[in-house]
Amino acid sequence: MTKRLGMFLGLGFVGVVLLLSGLAWDAVAHANDPSLAGREGIFTLGNPSHVLMGLGIGMVLVSLIGACATLLASAAEGWWARPGVRRAFLVVSTTVVLTAAGVTSWAGQTGHDDPAAAGHGRDASGQLAAALDGSHGGTGDPTAPALGAEDHASGAGQAGAEHAAPERDDASRDGHTSTSVVHDHVADRASQATAPRSGAHRHDPATAASGPAGSPAHSHETAPAARPGDHPHPSPAPHSPAAPPGPEAPQGTWAELRYGPFVVTPAGAGGDADHANVAVPSLAKPCSNCFLLEFQPELVYADGTPANLDTGMMLHHAVLFSAGRQDPTCGPEQPFPGKLGQRFFASGNERTPGLFPPGFGYYADAGNWSGIFHVMNHSAGPKSVFFQLKVRWSPAAAGGVRPLTPIWLDMNNCRTSEYAVPAGPSSSHWTWTSNLTGRIVATAGHVHDGGVRTTLTNQTTRQHLCTSWAGWGKKSAFQGSIESMSGCTWDRVGTVQKGEVLDLETVYNSSKSVPDAMGIMMAFVYETDDLSGGTPAPPDIRGETTPPPASTPPPSGHDHQH
């Protein structure tokens, strides 16, 4: 009897070793690939560490049941010595174990049909909730899970994706970061706040129609496509050269997508937590085999009204990825976000639109889209919101659109996107050696409160490409936080060749140090050897005009966690 008992106890010890080994293996796997949590459930047997943990749990249960049965059989007298009691114990304990295993297996299959982090709602079909008619209606289900608070390391994205401890010295693949107090000529510009650029046109649907199959969207024809001067910048001066796109440029069709609902707990109960990200592994698309000509991001309530800081809500970031396509600055050898694919659009709370010159667009293939979202709630009650994306698109078969490659430039690329800046005026630089050749036709930046501008320069040719200025203080909905970032859109903002070095400068002028600052620019490149094509962008289009004096930039702090 003692030998049998020892056998069961030994089996339990081996089970504990397997369980702990599986937990350690799984922890290392998730540390190396933070996106793993968004792609698997807790019972995914394709992960060997889960198999080890399952075997360990099973062996521990068998050990406990066997050891208890052995002790019952060894009882010499009394109620416990009855054979019926021992048999009943075995039947009941085995039934409980099998029932628990069946329930957890069922829960794992149904709960992880869409293995995203907690915090996003879906409809009964498993598709992302989206308005299918002109009412902009959403489910707004108050019982939907609250926004998850998982820590992550990301570049977006942000855009991009972001937020963990700053890593300033080893910033990115083929990149280098340096931070210093800004020189006098930069400090002069950093001390001036930006006047917000005139906003790009917003097109609201007049009629609703179904989008392409499988894509919940509003579709309708747009007004004629904007010319290169139609962007969030002052119009070119009368003497500035025009950049006509040619008559072949399509006008495109508008589609409206909604991702969510994101049900966010109140401030103080997790809703205002930093690093609370939701990874959504599959997003609805407006089309496939098509070109995306324009993006208009927004955070909205179920009735379509904007959700912003004036009602306690904040879009910390949203980053979209196209699977199976290599990101030029963060390839698949990088655990995150490189393995998610190509970063092609991102938005912070300033909600900068994505604008391309007529005749250019981002090609959407048949591959999967995924996204990372961080929505914050600074109010006293729970809120349910959607990330809304209006997209103007044109079928690839229609022709007339040249493909663009998105280039993500980030002060802490392939990691958290966060870095530290001191109080007062400061300038930080990050460089990247280009692996492509072409014409840059669109770019815009992203900073946090306390930020003044981002500037992109071809360091090799000493060509200034674009300065993206932060704007604030004009729109009450933003409560004094950054409300706009200007962009540069033209059919030749500048050029880059393979092997040339691009320099990203980010300028802050905060009243206190910023441990979690960001400096990001997205540039879209038309890959071509014809670098003299198009027309050069005027200086004001490239953001070379110093903004007029205004107030001091809003200080970066944790009031808005931005």
* Residue-wise pLDDT tens digits, 116-137: 333 333 333 333 333 323 333 3
Task: Tell me which DSSP letter residue 203 carries.
Answer: -
Q: Given pLDDT bands bounded at 50, 70 and 90, which one contains residue 333?
A: confident
Q: Residues 14-23: what's their mean pLDDT? A: 82
Between residues 556 and 260, the one the model is more confident about = 260
Is residue 393 helix, strand or coil? Answer: strand
Q: Which residue, 367, 370, 386, 361, is CA-closest to 337?
A: 370
At residue 102, does pLDDT exceed 80?
Answer: no
**211-232: pLDDT as tens digits:** 333 333 343 333 333 333 333 3
Measured on CA atoms in the order 527, 531, 536, 541, is the torsion positive or negative?
positive
pTM of the predicted protein model = 0.62
Q: Residue 462: its pLDDT value, please?
A: 97
**335-360: pLDDT as tens digits:** 778 889 999 999 999 999 999 999 99
Q: Given pLDDT bands bounded at 50, 70 and 90, which one contains residue 178?
A: low
Q: Residue 77: its pLDDT value, please?
A: 62
Q: Which residue, 57, 63, 85, 59, is CA-closest to 72?
A: 85
Q: Residue 28: its pLDDT value, please?
A: 73
Q: Given pLDDT bands bounded at 50, 70 and 90, which one contains residue 88?
A: confident
At residue 167, does pLDDT exceed 60?
Answer: no
Is residue 361 helix, strand or coil? Answer: strand
Q: What is the mean pLDDT of the chain?
A: 75
Cβ neighbours of residue 286 under 8 Å, at least 6 residues apart? 211, 212, 215, 217, 255, 257, 292, 364, 391, 393
Is residue 379 helix, strand or coil? Answer: coil
φ and ψ at residue 188, rounded to 5 degrees: -60, -40
CA distances from 278 to 36, 37, 39, 454 (A): 12, 10, 12, 27
Contact 524, 360 (CB under 8 A): yes
H or E stretch including 506? strand 501-510
**276-295: pLDDT as tens digits:** 789 999 999 999 999 999 99
H or E stretch including 221? strand 220-221
The pairing of beta strand 463-472 with beta strand 482-485: antiparallel
> Any long-range contacts for 137-143 (C-beta under 8 Å, 24+ apart)?
137/302, 137/303, 138/258, 138/260, 138/261, 138/302, 138/384, 138/386, 139/261, 139/302, 140/261, 140/301, 140/302, 140/384, 141/261, 141/263, 141/384, 142/263, 142/382, 142/384
Q: Given pLDDT bands bounded at 50, 70 and 90, which one contains residue 443?
A: very high
**134-160: pLDDT as tens digits:** 333 333 333 333 333 333 333 333 333
Q: Residues 323-333: what's their mean pLDDT? A: 93
Contact 432, 443 (CB under 8 A): no
**41-74: pLDDT as tens digits:** 555 666 787 788 788 788 888 888 877 777 767 7
The pairing of beta strand 360-364 with beta strand 402-403: parallel
Q: Given pLDDT bands bounded at 50, 70 and 90, which one contains residue 176?
A: low
At residue 103, does pLDDT exceed 70?
Answer: no
Instruction: Tell me the percentage of the chain whose pLDDT exceeds 70.
Output: 64
Between residues 192 and 246, the one the model is more confident about = 246
